[in-house]
């Protein structure tokens, strides 16, 4: 197979190293990592299974390689390229370019046992960070606004710089939690408020992703069993938890992704909250925070063992509150195994 990659995570998957200015080319048994002189030392130390080539013009170097090997057609993922970069590529390389969207994501769909071990470690580190964050909020979080709480979450999730973050954490209070991808506001946390936290960290470049929703009282934990003083919030929370648990209990290898989506959506629909469930049930996680498979009502992807994805049903009532419960899971021996704690 002949293909060319540009995305950093796609390149890393192939040769265990990447940087912000590189091309990876695979020509059957031959592989090449092309970068500029700034990365000469690191590339030569860390690239595995590929010949390192240093050039001030990556595309010209790629063109020479393809001409030398008499390559007539090469696969690329159009989602990896900006319009400007693609034009430069097209003007330099005369080989026919065959577009295959999600090329690397498809290769990474089934995780290896080694990858699952790394992902499990990332999830456990993330869960531990959630526990630490809970203690910090109890000690000095009340009276702080969402900006300050988000800053605290970033520091704790990253263990003060030791780990990169999977994405910017979401820390949302009451009405702001009704926005699935909420940005922080100047709303200050008070006792009795609903608090939603969605966050993750990276371990050896692999991501974790977790969401918990709770009522912020004097003491609390980011666990799935929660109590709320307001009946509507409790009903919505219990509905989301049933949907979450139903998918984890009943999902099987060989199911289509849309069937797993229905395992959460049907419960939320029957409880009368269907119009407030505004996103899919989950997404794959790996080197990227969003990968295949997508657990959506439109996806015909067959779920197989060693696929890793999230289960994250939610209810979002505008102007009132939002609730989401999210865990990363892996398919093992035909069934779901939750990778995180309670």
Q: Do the strands 291-295 and 282-284 form a parallel or antiparallel pair, or are they unpaired? A: antiparallel
341 pLDDT more than 70: no
Indicate if 76 and 127 belong to the same structural domain.
Answer: no
Q: What CATH code is carried by the domain that includes residue 200?
A: 3.90.230.10
Strands (E), 267-333: 282-284, 291-295, 308-311, 314-317, 321-324, 327-332
Indicate if 102 and 125 belong to the same structural domain.
Answer: no
54 pLDDT more than 80: yes
Indicate if 124 and 77 belong to the same structural domain.
Answer: no
Q: Which of 76, 107, 138 is the last residue of a domain?
A: 107
Q: Which of 75, 107, 139 is the last residue of a domain?
A: 107
Indicate if 132 and 66 belong to the same structural domain.
Answer: no
> How many Cβ atoms sit within 10 Å of the Cβ of residue 296?
17
Q: Give the residue numbers spanning the domain of 69.
A: 2-107
342 pLDDT more than 80: no
Domains in the chain, number: 2
Q: Region 270-282: what's the mean pLDDT? A: 98
> How many Cβ atoms sit within 10 Å of the Cβ of residue 16?
13
Q: Give the pLDDT band of residue 287 (cuts 50, 70, 90).
A: very high
**What is the model's pLDDT at position 172?**
98
3-state helix, strand, coil in the chain (%, to 5): 40, 25, 35
Q: Which of 107, 126, 161 is the last residue of a domain?
A: 107
**What is the model's pLDDT at position 319?**
97
Q: Give the pLDDT band of residue 2 (cuts 50, 70, 90).
A: very high
Which of 85-89, 312-316, 327-331 shows the lowest mean pLDDT across its residues?
Answer: 85-89
Strands (E), 253-341: 282-284, 291-295, 308-311, 314-317, 321-324, 327-332, 335-338
**Contact assessment for residue 9 and residue 107, using Cβ atoms and an 8 Å cutoff:** no
pLDDT, one tens digit per residue, over 214-269 is 999 989 999 999 999 999 999 999 999 999 999 999 999 999 999 999 999 999 99
**Contact assessment for residue 54 and residue 78, using Cβ atoms and an 8 Å cutoff:** no
**What is the model's pLDDT at position 340?**
72
pLDDT, one tens digit per residue, over 111-164 is 999 999 999 999 999 999 999 999 999 999 999 999 999 999 999 999 989 999
**Which residues are CB-contacts of 88 (< 8 A; sequence separation ≥ 6)?**
59
Task: Give the pair of three-digit tokens for residue 149.
Answer: 């709480």
């Amino acid at each position: 197979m002949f293909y060319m990659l540009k995305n950093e995570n796609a390149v890393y998957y192939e040769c265990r190293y990447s940087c912000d200015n590189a091309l990876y080319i695979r020509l059957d048994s031959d592989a090449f990592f092309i970068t500029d002189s700034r990365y000469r030392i690191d590339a030569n130390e860390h690239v595995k299974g590929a010949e390192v080539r240093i050039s001030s013009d990556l595309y010209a170097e790629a063109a020479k390689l393809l001409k030398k090997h008499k390559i007539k057609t090469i696969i690329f993922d159009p989602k990896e390229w900006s319009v400007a970069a693609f034009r430069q590529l097209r003007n330099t390389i005369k080989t026919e370019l065959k577009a295959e969207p999600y090329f690397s994501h498809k290769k990474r769909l089934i995780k290896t046992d080694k990858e699952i071990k790394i992902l499990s470690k990332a999830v456990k580190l993330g869960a531990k960070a959630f526990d630490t964050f809970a203690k910090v909020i109890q000690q000095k979080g009340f009276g702080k606004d969402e900006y300050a709480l988000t800053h605290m979450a970033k520091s704790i999730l990253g263990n003060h710089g030791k780990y990169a973050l999977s994405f910017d954490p979401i820390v949302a209070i009451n009405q702001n939690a009704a926005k699935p991808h909420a940005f922080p506001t100047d709303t200050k946390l008070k006792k009795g408020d609903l608090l939603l936290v969605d966050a993750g960290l990276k371990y050896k470049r692999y991501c974790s992703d977790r969401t918990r929703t709770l009522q912020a009282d004097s003491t609390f934990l980011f666990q799935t069993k929660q109590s709320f003083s307001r009946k509507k919030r409790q009903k919505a929370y219990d509905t989301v938890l049933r949907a979450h648990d139903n998918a984890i209990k009943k999902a099987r290898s060989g199911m289509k992704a849309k069937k797993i989506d229905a395992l959460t959506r049907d419960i939320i629909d029957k409880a009368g909250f269907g119009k407030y469930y505004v996103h899919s049930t989950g997404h794959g996680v790996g080197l990227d925070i969003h990968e295949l498979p997508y657990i959506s009502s439109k996806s015909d992807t067959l779920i197989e063992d060693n696929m890793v994805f999230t289960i994250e049903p939610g209810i979002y009532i505008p102007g009132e509150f939002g609730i989401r419960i999210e865990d990363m899971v892996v398919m093992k021996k035909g069934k779901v195994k939750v990778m995180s704690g309670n």
